[in-house]
Chains A and B, each alone.
Chain A
């Protein structure tokens, strides 16, 4: 709920309570006053009645002491006017009666007498019914009537036999006596009773006995005025001034006014106080807030004791706000700097030095340092002093001297050592060191590589007073530390990558050497066979030539025809020699990646030529099922020869390895798989087979089950790579002691 509503409601409640109190007190007074008035009015009326009664005693006695009732009964009944004149009219003077009216029981007038001008009794005689009606209410009547300009006092009685004191029996007739109240009499009565008499034309609608006129201080009571028909046509007002009551009434009225005035004044006062004490300062606060008027806020703080705290709060708010706006400016600058650094990092133009310079500029600190942990030390890889624009490096601090620092840095992202009252930290950071460099406040951020703290980034102020470290400052420092770690990581990565590439190149060179060596090695294992392959035809040449010489020597007569057979043998042997040498050269030659369309069958044939004898003599039969019209395969002849050679050599080895030695069979089959448009080369053997466990590994480099010296485990991996190079696929099926089938598919050229 807004404060103004609260205040409003409070004031209304106050007003209600106040008003209530006033009303209560007023009612109390009024009740008391009314009682006073009532008593006074009764007294006054009683006195007036008494005076009227006393003054009109004679007149009243005409009715009240009417003594000749029995005679009257007869007179009334008989309508004996003479009797009436003699007995009743004669008494008029004695009783001060101005007129008499005699009515029969049926209400008809039968006698009247008047001493005064009849015009005063205008309206007479009364109607029959009116008379009966009047007396039906009560037997003795006393009322006033309008008699011209003056008042007529009327008294009446019903005529009953004297014995009937209570007037219970039916009236024999009715008697009215009238008396005129002239002004003189009325004035006289007024003097006697201390009251004023006034005829009023209004008819009192209320039944109040009396009325108090507060303005005049008069107590009023009324007598009904009737016309001759008996109906009320007005009233006669008797007012008597009561000074005491008047004064009391006046003072009571004044009291109400006083209450109201007091309430108004006090409310006004309250409002004024509210205005002065609350509204004005609040307005000033609002204004200060609106204008961000620090001076006003400070004045408020200094002046108003009540608003001191608010003023303080406003000041803080404004100072903070100003700080925040400076911060947001700084943050924008930080972002710019960071973006620049990131760009530099990406283009590779970022160095630790540049990064520190930007860090110092961004944070507006005097010193920035990048430290790395090395063998228990903190080594300053770069330290930048911004006012002097100097870079330093090589400062070494012992890590063990700062255990608390390390712990805190590891736990939190960024921390301020001095400025956030980290005295313990400051001590831990070696106060001497700080004093030496005049450092007044500094922040430390951990440099993390792969989540591990590898160093620290420090940013220090040397100025005084020390600016506060904002959250944005710390964030920026942390970001710079991140960039630094990125830079360090990338430098490290480049170094490692360089090494790795070197190693990789070496390995690659080694591998190609190794492949060549492996090739030579496999050739070496066959050198015996190759020797045999060459030596046989060589014998055919050399020994046959020697034989020719021997024969020529013994025969003397040299005829070439005699040696025809021998010469044919020599030639055949020489051709065989040449073929073997050519095959060997082709095989041993380092492969050059010249791909051409070639027939897979001829590749197979060439390898078989080299190996045939070796296998043959090992009781191994080479079976061939080479499909005719096989599509050409795009490939390198030497590499493909090596594939066939290595697979066949493995088959040879596997057959020899078989425990139950028998005649081995190597079966080479080529065919065209039209469905997949591939040329297939299947090489099966009846060797020892490959275990299921080893089957997936056979194409891995250096995987071998051969004993040391038997093979390097490179053959099939080389085969695999060559097949891949030819966009082919290779798979192996094998069963222990049953044999192995290597299935190679090349895409048809």
Chain B
């Protein structure tokens, strides 16, 4: 499947991050939506179908893990990517690794890694 068929949800309370990802995905021709917190994301997923969600780990209100859990309940097929500025170990220690089936990317991002993930999602679709 071409990348253009993908629909991705971006959830982060940092505007800079949201803006960057949205721009990046638009450059790659991927349809992307932006939410500033978990609750908006839940609403968005209820209304639309998304292939993947890039979720910030530490957010006010619902944090990344919680949000992903909620999203998966609504749309089990959705792929989750946790974004964090913290060291990867901190995140993995905090997440319930058994339950969590997703990826973790570290800020500042390795754009190549994001590309790999997006390509993987498009391929598996």
Residues of A near any B CB (own CB < 8 A): 528, 531-544, 546-547, 550-551, 554, 565-566, 569, 572-573, 616-617, 619
Chain A's closest residue to B86 (CB) is A528
Cβ A535 vs Cβ B63 within 8 A: no
Cβ A535 vs Cβ B108 within 8 A: yes
Encode contact with A along B58-78: 1 for CB under 8 Å, 0 otherwise. 111101000000000000000
* Nearest chain B CB to A75 CB, angstrom units: 198
Contacts of A573 in B (CB 8 A): 16
Contacts of B19 in A (CB 8 A): 565, 569
Cβ B108 vs Cβ A539 within 8 A: yes
Cβ B27 vs Cβ A538 within 8 A: no
CA distance A546 to B109 in the complex (A): 10
Known: A547-B24, A550-B27, A550-B111. A537 touches B16 (CB 8 A): yes
Cβ A551 vs Cβ B20 within 8 A: no
* Nearest chain B CB to A155 CB, angstrom units: 186
Cβ A569 vs Cβ B85 within 8 A: no
**B17 at interface, CB cutoff 8 A:** yes
Residues of B near any A CB (own CB < 8 A): 14, 16-17, 19-20, 23-24, 27, 58-61, 63, 84-87, 90, 106-109, 111
* Nearest chain A CB to B20 CB, angstrom units: 5
Chain A's closest residue to B59 (CB) is A617
CA distance A619 to B107 in the complex (A): 21
* Nearest chain B CB to A578 CB, angstrom units: 15
Contacts of A528 in B (CB 8 A): 86-87, 90
CA distance A439 to B110 in the complex (A): 99
Known: A538-B107, A541-B108, A547-B24. A532 touches B17 (CB 8 A): no
CA distance A619 to B86 in the complex (A): 17
CA distance A531 to B24 in the complex (A): 23
Cβ A544 vs Cβ B20 within 8 A: yes
CA distance A410 to B84 in the complex (A): 80
**Residue of B24, B108, B111 ringed by the most chain A CB atoms within 10 A:** B108
Cβ B87 vs Cβ A531 within 8 A: yes
CA distance A55 to B54 in the complex (A): 203
Contacts of A544 in B (CB 8 A): 16, 20, 23
Cβ B60 vs Cβ A532 within 8 A: no
CA distance A547 to B20 in the complex (A): 8
Cβ B16 vs Cβ A533 within 8 A: no
Cβ A616 vs Cβ B108 within 8 A: no
Contacts of A554 in B (CB 8 A): 27
CA distance A385 to B3 in the complex (A): 110
Cβ B16 vs Cβ A532 within 8 A: no
CA distance A554 to B90 in the complex (A): 37
Cβ B86 vs Cβ A532 within 8 A: yes
Cβ B90 vs Cβ A543 within 8 A: no
Cβ-defined partner of B14 (8 Å) among A536, A541, A542, A547: A536
Contacts of B85 in A (CB 8 A): 531-536, 538-539
Chain B's closest residue to A544 (CB) is B20
Cβ B111 vs Cβ A543 within 8 A: yes
Cβ-defined partner of A539 (8 Å) among B16, B27, B63, B86: B16
CA distance A580 to B23 in the complex (A): 26
Chain A's closest residue to B19 (CB) is A569
Contacts of B109 in A (CB 8 A): 539, 542-543
Q: A532-B107, A536-B17, A551-B23 are in contact. List 8 more A-B contacts (CB 8 A).
A: A528-B86, A537-B16, A539-B20, A541-B108, A543-B108, A546-B111, A551-B27, A617-B63
